[in-house]
Structure 1
Amino acid sequence: MTEISRLPGPVMELWEWQYQGSCRDADDTLFFHPEGERGSTRRRRAEAAKAICRSCPVMMECREQSLRVREPYGVWGGLSEDERSAILSGRDREHKKAS
Structure 2
Amino acid sequence: MYRDFLSTTDWRAESACSRVDPELFFPIGDTGPALTQIEDAKAVCRVCPVSGPCLRWAMEAREIHGIWGGTSESDRRLLHHRAARAIRA
Aligned residue pairs total 85
Give, in angstroms, the shift of residue 14 of structure 1.
3.0
Find the counterpart in structure 2 of residue 33 from structure 1.
Answer: 27
1:1-99 alignment runs, 5 A limit: 14-34=8-28, 37-97=29-89
TM-score (norm 2): 0.86
Moved over 4 A (4+): none
Query: Can you give the 5+ residue segments of structure 2 that lack an aligned partner in the other structure?
Result: none
CA offsets per residue over residues 45-85 of structure 1, 9 Å max, x none? 00000000001000101011111111100000000000000
- Between Structure 1 and Structure 2, the one with more helix by share is 2
Please give the alpha-carbon distance, in whole angstroms, between the structure 1 residues aligned to 2:30 and 2:17.
23
Query: Can you give the 5+ residue segments of structure 1 that lack an aligned partner in the other structure?
Result: 1-9
Please give the alpha-carbon distance, in whole angstroms, between the structure 2 residues aligned to 1:38 and 1:69.
21
Give, in angstroms, the shift of residue 95 of structure 1.
1.3
TM-score (norm 1): 0.78
Of structures 1 and 2, the larger Rg is shown by 1
Please give the alpha-carbon distance, in whole angstroms, between the structure 2 residues aligned to 1:84 and 1:67.
7
CA offsets per residue over residues 21-62 of structure 1, 9 Å max, x none? 00001111100023xx45221110000000000010001010
